[in-house]
Homo-oligomer: A and B are copies of this chain.
Amino acid sequence: MDSYQQIVLASRPTGAPQPENFRLENGPMPVAADGQLLVRTRYLSLDPYMRGRMSTAKSYAKSVEIGETMEGEVVAEVIQSRHPDYRVGDLVQARTGWRTHAAIGVAGLRRVDPTLAPITTALGVLGMPGFTAYAGMKVIGQPKPGETVVVAAASGPVGSLVGQLAKLAGARVVGIAGGPEKCAYLRDELGFDATIDHRAYGLAEKLAEACPDGIDVYFENVGGPIWQAVLPLLNRFARVPMCGVIAHYNGGGGAEQDLLPATMTAIVRKSLLLRGYINFDFVDEHHDAFLRELGPRVRSGDIRYREDIVDGLEQAPDAFIGMLAGRNFGKALVRLA
C-alpha cells in the first residue's frame, strides 16, 4: 500500500452540509520523520462540532480551509514507529482528521489500552463526548437529589451519559429524542424516568406534563424549538450547561418573531445560569477524575453506551450529514478497513 485516502472540505455549506461539500482524495503515503509515527486509522469519530469548522464564523477554533483535510479525532494503530516509546501495533487517540493514514508527532498523544474497554469508547463514552457530558454536569449542571434534569438529543453520546450521570446523582431524568425506538432505549435500557419524542405533536405540552415540578437542570445541546419548550418550565436558579445548539449550526432555528427578549427576561426573573463551554475548558481540572470515576462504571456495564458505526471512509460525509439530522442512534463512528 503506497497511497492513503482523505476527505477534504470541497466547499463551504450554506445550510445543511451536502455531499458535494466534501471530496475524497488520494495521495502518496505519508512518511514518518525521525521521532514520528506512521499510523493507520481504525475508527474516525463524527461529531456535531465539525459543522462549525466548515464555516468561517468566529469560534474557539479556526475553520478548516477549502481543500484541507476535514478535522476529526481517531483511534489509530501505529504501523511504523520512529519514536522509542511506541511500537508497531500500539493504539493511540489522535486528531489526524478524516484520513486513512497520517505521520504524526507524539506530543499530546493519548494511548488507548484495548484491555480496559473497547477501543471505540476512547471516542465516545470515555472520550470527548463522554467528558463533555461529565464536565457539563460536574461544573455547571450540578444536579441534586430530587431535582428534575432534562436533556435533549438524549440518545446521543453526550445526552445519554448526561442522563445516566443525573440518575446517579439522584435526580429525576427526562430525555428528549427523535422517534419511539430511541425513547424506548432511554426508558428501558438507561432508566430514564420519562421520555419525549420531539417528532410527535405537542412538544411543549408533553414536556410540561413530564416535568410537574419544573426543570432544575437543562443540558442544552440542541437549541431551537426545544429551548422554547424548556424556558417556561425552568425553575428559579436553574442551570443550563450549553455545549451546542445543533439546531442553529446550519443557520436554522430562527423564528418569525424575536425570541431573545423572552429569554433575557427569564434569565433575570428566574436567576438562571446559562454557561457555554467546550470540553477542553475543563480538561486540566477534571479529566483525570472523569476517567477514574467513569472507567470502572463503563467496564462493569453500570454505565451504558451505544454506537452507530458505518464502514469505509467514503461513507463519512453521508454519516455526518445524517448525524446532524438526527438519523444516527448512538455515537457516530466510521470504521476503516
Contact = CB atoms under 8 A, between A and B. Distances in A.
Nearest to A228: B260
Given A52-B269, A60-B269, A263 B263 contact: yes
A285 interface: no
A326 interface: no
8 contacts: A244-B268, A248-B265, A255-B258, A259-B260, A268-B276, A271-B276, A271-B281, A273-B275
Contacts of A223: 261, 264-265
A236 interface: yes
A264 B258 CA distance: 13
Contacts of A3: none
Nearest to A239: B275
Contacts of A227: 260, 264
A273 B239 CA distance: 11
Given A258-B255, A259-B258, A58 B269 contact: yes
3 smallest beta-carbon distances between A and B, as pairs: A267-B276, A254-B258, A259-B260
A290 interface: no
A297 interface: no
A276 B281 contact: no
A272 B271 contact: no
Contacts of A245: 261, 264-265, 268
Given A269-B52, A271-B277, A253 B248 contact: no
A260 B269 contact: no
Nearest to A253: B261
Interface in A14-48: none
A255 B264 CA distance: 13
Nearest to A246: B268
